[in-house]
A and B are shown apart, each in its own frame.
Chain A
């Protein structure tokens, strides 16, 4: 099958959906001729014009308000926040307005937008351009949170998200933009709330999100040489969450390692651990549930320090090995 990078897959989804549905438009900082800070929207302004690929002033709250108001009155906007860190500036509109409008209005309105934003460290951009803040939004009823890990998933999930009638925080990872993978040319959707078993295994389950799926698959590959067979499950959407697939996998393997880049304390891993511990998988657990996550520190600038701030392949290998060998 044809291969596309993660960034190209996003761009193709945007292009196909804008061709299909004239209510869809893109709005954000430097999304036009510049193509977005990571080049994701490159070329779209040439195809769809400045009326549908709208460059904004540096006004994150304004962007969030613009997509909220436009979605409330019949459009299906796709906003972009250049770095997830800057979503702090937009959060009033996302948290107090977009997420709550439908409920507060008794179910008589809807706010169908997608807000794309790149998260994650590894680019040397330090503490204010590297955060993974997904769990803040998971915590807000009314929002959905999507976190794709592959080029195939990002296309299908983005198309599904744009067609969804709810406000969606769509979290991309900067280090995944150049990663290539098979992506069908025709439009397709992946239903929100469906996890995927990315690799089957018998000895333990790794539940990982975003770039940690890729790192976990690499770790699983290494561990296979030690005769440790790891199952890797990617929730793909944090909210809604496909609990069943995760629970089924843990019941099969009896051991679970949760891996995410965001800081450990208050991170999504705690939620996953609680769900697993509270489910029928509890009786099948042969070891404590283990979380491997970002250190509870701001992302440092120095290359080595940055590298060690979040889980890397070797950390996953180590943690999984210990868990599989009953050393936890």
Chain B
């Protein structure tokens, strides 16, 4: 009995429809793209179709949509404060998109779109570009005051500004790597622990130890469920905090 133990294989993109190559780039509609559109469809189903009756006393699906909306509304309001209402659609879209893609990844044989750094990095880039563009549009050069915290002695200012700029630039990186690494590591751990079960079963007498990695993979699955939800929330919260800089650069 051959058991494939490669934990990386699951992250491979499988082209469903190939549009050929442009230079080195392979342009194809992959399972990753399919899951993205599936997520969009499901979110639209929940937030548009389930609320179309506009019931005063909501049903289950409408309740769920309202809970998500109010939850994100509160998170954005608490983190970004006054004037943050205009960013609720962005944070809501990001949260629901990341949440569903993370949860899709938990379905056996499904694909975790957020385990690809390019996806999470692009989402983080959307956040940072929103912060920068809105910041300059709303505050002009005053937005640069973000890098000069008030109450810093003059001789310390150059150093502080450098630190602030570096921390600002590292935000999209940390935002994207956090989500990507969590999903990647979780799925690799899950695959490895689950892989021990058939490997032990195939190794004759060692098969009696196979319930151990099985129990462990059950526990890791539960943990990964938590991580999937938590990382979506962390992404939404950090987005709100970064957007707060665009709204109130002077603090």
- The yes or no verdict on A and B being binding partners is no
Q: Which residues of B contact A (CB under 8 A)?
A: none
The interface of chain A, by Cβ under 8 A from chain B, is none
